A and B are shown apart, each in its own frame.
Chain A
Amino acid sequence: MELLQLAVGGLANGCIYGLVALGFVMIYKASEGVNFAQGDMMMLGAFVALGLGNGDHLGLPFVLAVPLAMAVMFCVGWGVERVVVRRIFGQPQFALVILTIAMGFVFRFVAGAVFGYTPLVMETPYGGQNLNLGGVVIGYADLIAIAVTIVLTVALWAFFAFTRIGLAAQAASQNQLAAYIVGVPVMRVNSLIWGLSGAVATVAGVLYASRGAIDPNIGLLGIKAFAAAVIGGLGSLPGALLGGLIVGLVEPIAGRYAPGEVAQMSPYILMLVVLLTRPSGLISQVQMKKV
């Protein structure tokens, strides 16, 4: 029973990691580099939603505030690609790494300047309510995190598998030259992917904020999500989710049954083990080149 209780909380957490990891993978495929500001985009998304929705700020209804925040963060992601990332196209990978780390600092500073550094609670229609299923207490926030993640994953999958523009994005991530010559505007598609990952990060941020207070440093969760993305295989969307769920589940269970600080380290221990045994991740898209 206790294990089940831990698992539900872990699963909800894992969904949030998974969504942030999804953002890592989408951008990795589009810009061939890691966006280390992904966690901070989640944080910023959460604060934008809080600023739009909370009573002491703009006070919009929650169901309006969240889509609006997603739209705002879509524009932020899109703009970051348009204005900054595009300029370092063709530079070595570490350029994007340094750039996005710096961008993370900027996002944190902006959020801190506007909202301060004391933890704030997002007002949600389902905050603090629980469901008691035969001794297992499940927060609505946990259930919603899991449900929203499932819906969003299916939607993203459908987008990439069936729509003209989703297929174009897939093509551009596999081979830019080839994408160009069949008529895919590769740069425009990359901007769109950055926008999408901003919107997905916002969803993750709102789900996170509805389970506890937020401050400008919650973006550091992105490091755990990055570990999740690596565990799943950095080039694979289903792998990112799987990695997120694994990290989410292992953490609370290690916290309960293993000594001291193991829970804190567990995502990185897992990442190390995966890197040592399956360097391209659990679900790998990289095929070994025959020599």
Chain B
Amino acid sequence: MSLLEVDDLAIHFGGVKAVDGISFAVEPGEVFAIIGPNGAGKSTIFNLISRIYEPTRGRIRFDGQDITRLRAHDIARLGIARTFQNIELFDHSTVLANLLMGRHSHRATNVVQDILFLPKVRREERAHRRKVEEVIEFLELEAYRGKMIAGLPYGVRKVVEIGRALAIGPRLILLDEPASGLSVEETQDMAFWIEDMRREMGLTVLMVEHDMSLVTQVCDRVLAVANGRPLALGTPAEVQGHPDVQAAYLGTERAS
């Protein structure tokens, strides 16, 4: 069974059909990319899956469960994590606090227990801290643990956001342009991390990306979209060679 199934998904903002009839399925353990020109509706698809937008039409199923009508704060608990194109972090907090916040949906203690700092709270706290330390080690963030987000360079903030997504302990991680704004070396690190997320952590990865070298390197399958409509679905090579995709990128008119 597919881990994520998107069926005839659409969202219209007034007369603008930002996403209009997108269907795809992501298999467990797969690295799947959505590509397309700017404004194609890629990030909108992410916002629909993470329930920030309300779809006009269509269904989203995660692990067999219909999540089309769930609320945005229910998604983390199910095991879906994401990053944003413009990096959404808690800027006035430390890296450690940001990553610990990723554990929020796993905390089960109430206000009274928290205030009294009961053994149960301490036990939970230690477990969360251990999980977060694993993430810090994986992404090599040791040097930044106590630093405020607001003062960190772009590339590091990008990694911290992925760290927070991993701290959620997801089965599916959505990465919105993980390589944008990164140097060549940083992009290479990103490729290794994505590989490891799949291999070592058993994650399924869905990403939006412009950098075709990264897509070719790490992705199993690619869905190309333009103007909210699907263009082609297949291996990176197949999709790149598809005449409709080339037309969308190069802007050449095709007689259809």
Q: Do A and B come from one complex?
A: yes
Contact with A along B146-169 (1 / 0, CB 8 A): 000010000000000000100010
In contact, B150 and A183 (Cβ under 8 angstroms): no
Q: Contact residue range for chain A?
A: 20 to 34
Contact with B along A159-200 (1 / 0, CB 8 A): 100111111101100110111111111100000000000000
Instruction: Tell me if B76 counts as interface (CB < 8 A to partner A).
Output: yes
In contact, B90 and A171 (Cβ under 8 angstroms): yes
| Given the contacts A182-B105, A182-B164, A184-B73, A158 and B115 also touching, CB distance less than 8 Å | yes
Contact with A along B68-110 (1 / 0, CB 8 A): 0001111111000110100011111100000001101101011
Instruction: Tell me if B114 counts as interface (CB < 8 A to partner A).
Output: yes
In contact, A185 and B101 (Cβ under 8 angstroms): no
In contact, A183 and B89 (Cβ under 8 angstroms): no
In contact, B111 and A163 (Cβ under 8 angstroms): yes
B residues near A165, Cβ cutoff 8 Å: 111
| Given the contacts A167-B101, A180-B73, A182-B102, A175 and B88 also touching, CB distance less than 8 Å | yes
Instruction: Tell me if A287 counts as interface (CB < 8 A to partner B).
Output: yes
Instruction: Tell me if B127 counts as interface (CB < 8 A to partner A).
Output: no
A219 to B102 Cα, complex, angstroms: 41
A163 to B118 Cα, complex, angstroms: 12
In contact, A183 and B76 (Cβ under 8 angstroms): yes
Instruction: Tell me if A285 counts as interface (CB < 8 A to partner B).
Output: yes
In contact, B111 and A182 (Cβ under 8 angstroms): no
B residues near A168, Cβ cutoff 8 Å: 104
| Given the contacts A167-B104, A168-B104, A178 and B88 also touching, CB distance less than 8 Å | yes
A residues near B52, Cβ cutoff 8 Å: 177, 180
Instruction: Tell me if B204 counts as interface (CB < 8 A to partner A).
Output: no
In contact, A183 and B82 (Cβ under 8 angstroms): no
A16 to B76 Cα, complex, angstroms: 41
A235-291 with Cβ < 8 A to chain B: 285, 287
Chain A contact residues, majority secondary structure:
helix
A97 to B3 Cα, complex, angstroms: 46
A164 to B93 Cα, complex, angstroms: 16
A209 to B71 Cα, complex, angstroms: 44
Instruction: Tell me if B50 counts as interface (CB < 8 A to partner A).
Output: yes
B residues near A185, Cβ cutoff 8 Å: 71, 73
A194-234 with Cβ < 8 A to chain B: none
B112-160 with Cβ < 8 A to chain A: 114-115, 117, 150
Which residue on B lies nearest to A177, using beta carbons? B88
A181 to B80 Cα, complex, angstroms: 9
Which residue on A lies nearest to B47, using beta carbons? A177
In contact, B90 and A183 (Cβ under 8 angstroms): no
Closest approach, in angstroms, between the C-beta of A146 and any C-beta of chain B? 23
Closest approach, in angstroms, between the C-beta of B170 and any C-beta of chain A? 10
Interface centre among A164, A177, A184 (most CB of B within 10 A): A164
Which residue on A lies nearest to B108, using beta carbons? A164
In contact, A183 and B93 (Cβ under 8 angstroms): no
A residues near B168, Cβ cutoff 8 Å: 182-183
What are 26 A-B interface contacts by the 8 Å CB criterion?
Answer: A159-B115, A164-B111, A164-B114, A166-B114, A167-B101, A168-B104, A170-B90, A174-B90, A174-B92, A175-B88, A175-B89, A177-B52, A177-B84, A178-B88, A178-B89, A180-B72, A181-B50, A181-B72, A182-B76, A182-B101, A182-B102, A182-B104, A182-B105, A182-B168, A184-B104, A185-B73
**Contacts A164-B107, A164-B110, A185-B71 supplied; 13 other A-B pairs, CB < 8 Å:** A162-B117, A163-B114, A164-B109, A166-B111, A167-B101, A171-B101, A177-B88, A178-B90, A181-B82, A183-B75, A183-B76, A287-B91, A287-B150
A-side interface residues toward B, CB under 8 Å? 158-159, 162-168, 170-171, 174-175, 177-186, 285, 287
Query: What are the nearest 8 A-B pairs in CB distance?
Result: A183-B105, A183-B76, A163-B114, A180-B72, A178-B88, A174-B90, A185-B73, A177-B88
B-side interface residues toward A, CB under 8 Å? 50, 52, 71-77, 81-82, 84, 88-93, 101-102, 104-105, 107, 109-111, 114-115, 117, 150, 164, 168
